Amino acid sequence: HCVTGVQTCALPISRIAALPSTISGVPLQKIYRPRNGGRGAAVRDGFQLAISQWCGFLDVDLEVDFRWLRPTVERLQQGAHGVIGSRRYSSRDPRPDRVMYSLLYRAVARRSLGLPVADSECGFKFFRRDLILPVLAQTKDNGWFFDTELVYRATKAGLGLERSEEH
């Protein structure tokens, strides 16, 4: 099985070419965008070009480790419409202000928008491609709010989103 992953980062093409073609035995497809149009644009492009049944993305900071990719694909194979990661923070985090703002945003977004997952901003999201493409077509934001908008619209469209195990 193949999973298309979209990674939004400012890497030169030589570094992108050096990235692995498989992770945990799962083939990956790499796409280079010469101009950064934001995460939303990169995800839309990647998901449109995907040839796999499932597609997703993860952040370059790898707050959620690659090792969670295979169990995520297995959950999609078992019928999940989407799997959203969830970050676990430590009291030893070097940026306590970032942790505080993240936890506050999580609580506000979840309560005010009725989101089914605790961490809509987590940069680890994988979906059934056929179900997420119509949702992606409705998204407007390309920047920071993209993740929350995607989870909100997917929920409103009736997609069964599951939270990945704690990371």
* Side-chain-facing half-sphere of 126: CA atoms under 13 Å: 28
Active-site residue, selected from the candidate residues 61, 130, 141, 147: 147
Residue 141 known to be catalytic: no
26 forms bridges with which residues in the sheet?
23
Sign (positive or negative) of CA dihedral 76, 63, 10, 16: negative
Calpha distance 114→156 (Å, rounded): 10
* Side-chain-facing half-sphere of 65: CA atoms under 13 Å: 8
Calpha distance 45→37 (Å, rounded): 10
Cα distances (Å, whole numbers) of residue 22 to 18, 28, 41, 42, 64: 12, 5, 24, 20, 17
**Residues assigned a catalytic role:** 147
